[in-house]
A and B are shown apart, each in its own frame.
Chain A
Amino acid sequence: MGSLTRRQLLAALLGAPLTARLYGCRPEREPPDSIEGELLGPDLRLGHRLRQPPPLAAWRDAPQRRTRVAIVGGGPAGLSAAWRLARRGERDFAVLELDTKLGGTSRDGRSEVTPYPWGAHYLPVPGRHNHDLRALLTEMGALDERGEPAEHVLVREPHERLFFRGYWYPGLYPYAGASPSDLAELSRFRALTARHAESFRLPMARSARDRLDLDLVDGATWLRQNGLRSERLHWLCDYACRDDYGLRLEDTSAWALLFYWAARLEDGKEAPLLTWPEGNGALVRHLAQAAGERALTGRLVAHIEPSQDEVRLAVLNSDGRRERWVAERAILAVPRFAATRLVPNLPTEGFDHGAWLVANLHLRDRPIGRGVELAWDNVLYDSPSLGYVTATHQRGRDFGPTVLTYYLPLCETDSRASRQALLAAEHGDLAEAALLDLERAHPSLRSVVRRLDVWRWGHAMTRPRVGFLLGGARFEAGHPRGRLHFAHSDLSGVALFEEAFFHGVRAADEVLAA
Chain B
Amino acid sequence: MGDADRPRLNRPLLFVTVLVIATSGLVYELLAGTLASYVLGDSVTQFSTTIGTYLFAMGIGSFLSRYVKNDVARRFVEVELGAAVLGGLSAPLLFVGFARAESFEVLLYATIVAIGTLVGLEIPLLMRILKEELAFADLVAKVLTFDYVGALLGSVLFALLFVPAMGLTRTSLFFGMLNAAVALLATHTLGHLIAPKVTRALRLVAILVIAGLALLFIRADRFTLWTEQALYRDPVVFAEQSPFQRIVVTRGRSTELYLDGHLQLSTADEHRYHESLVHPAFAVAPRHTRVLVLGGGDGFALREIFRYPDVEEVTLVDLDEAVVRMARRIFGAANGGSLDDPRLRIVHDDAMVWLDEHADAPPFDVAVVDFPDPGNFSLGKLYTRRFYALLRRVLAPDSVVVVQSTSPLYARRSFWCIEASMRAAGFHTRPYHANVPSFGEWGFVLARKLPFDEPAELALRGLRYLDDATLRTLFVFPPDMSRVPVEINVLNEQVLVRYYDDEVRQWDL
Contacts and interface: CB of A to CB of B under 8 A. Distances in A.
Contacts of B352: 396
SS of A interface (majority): loop
Contacts of B356: 395-396
Interface stretch (A153-161, A247-255, A314-322, A324-332): A153-161
B491 interface: yes
Nearest to B497: A157
Contacts of B377: 156-158, 373, 398
Interface string A389-400: 000000111111
B353 A373 contact: no
A399 B244 contact: yes
Contact of A396 (B244, B350, B490): B350
Nearest to A157: B494
Interface in B372-413: 376-378, 380-381, 384-386, 389
A400 B319 CA distance: 11
Given A151-B385, A157-B377, A397-B350, A272 B492 contact: yes
B492 A399 contact: no
Nearest to B495: A157
B243 interface: yes
A395 B352 CA distance: 9
B68 to A, nearest CB: 52
Given A151-B386, A395-B353, A397-B353, A156 B243 contact: no
A151 B384 contact: yes
A101 to B, nearest CB: 26
Most buried by B among A152, A154, A155: A152
B37 to A, nearest CB: 36
Nearest to B494: A157
Nearest to A375: B377
B493 interface: yes
B385 A399 contact: no
Given A154-B492, A157-B491, A396 B381 contact: yes
Contacts of A396: 350, 352-353, 356, 381, 491
B491 A151 contact: yes
A400 B244 CA distance: 9
B491 A154 contact: yes
A393 to B, nearest CB: 10
Nearest to A155: B492
Interface residues of B, number: 22
A396 B491 CA distance: 9
B320 to A, nearest CB: 9
B492 A151 contact: yes
B491 A399 contact: no
B491 A398 contact: no
Contacts of B386: 151-152
Contacts of B497: 157
B324 to A, nearest CB: 16
A453 B374 CA distance: 36
A395 B354 CA distance: 11
Nearest to B488: A151
A266 B384 CA distance: 25
Nearest to B490: A151
A408 to B, nearest CB: 27
A398 B244 CA distance: 9
A400 B377 CA distance: 16
Interface string A152-188: 1011111100000000000000000000000000000
Interface in A395-428: 395-400
Nearest to B376: A373
A398 B378 CA distance: 6
A398 B352 CA distance: 11
Contacts of B384: 151
A80 to B, nearest CB: 26
Contacts of A395: 353, 356
A158 B378 CA distance: 9
Nearest to A366: B243
B493 to A, nearest CB: 6
A156 B492 contact: yes
Contacts of A272: 492
B244 A157 contact: no
Nearest to A154: B492
Given A272-B492, A399-B319, A156 B381 contact: yes
Contacts of B378: 373, 398-399
Given A151-B384, A156-B381, A399 B350 contact: yes
B217 to A, nearest CB: 29
A180 to B, nearest CB: 25
Given A151-B386, A373-B376, A373-B377, A156 B491 contact: yes
A432 to B, nearest CB: 29
B491 A152 contact: yes
A397 B357 CA distance: 13
A397 B243 CA distance: 13
B491 A400 contact: no
Contact of B350 (A156, A158, A398): A398
Contacts of A400: 243
Nearest to A274: B492
A154 B386 CA distance: 11
Nearest to A152: B386
Interface in B235-278: 243-244
Contacts of A397: 350, 353
Most buried by A among B356, B493, B494: B493
A373 B353 CA distance: 19
Nearest to A151: B386
A111 to B, nearest CB: 16
10 contacts: A152-B386, A154-B492, A156-B377, A156-B492, A157-B493, A157-B497, A158-B377, A373-B377, A397-B350, A399-B243
Interface of B: 243-244, 319, 350, 352-353, 356, 376-378, 380-381, 384-386, 389, 490-494, 497
Given A154-B492, A396-B350, 4 more contacts: A156-B377, A157-B492, A395-B353, A398-B378
Interface of A: 151-152, 154-159, 272, 365, 373, 395-400
Closest 9 CB pairs of A and B: A154-B492, A398-B378, A151-B386, A156-B491, A396-B352, A157-B494, A151-B490, A152-B386, A151-B491
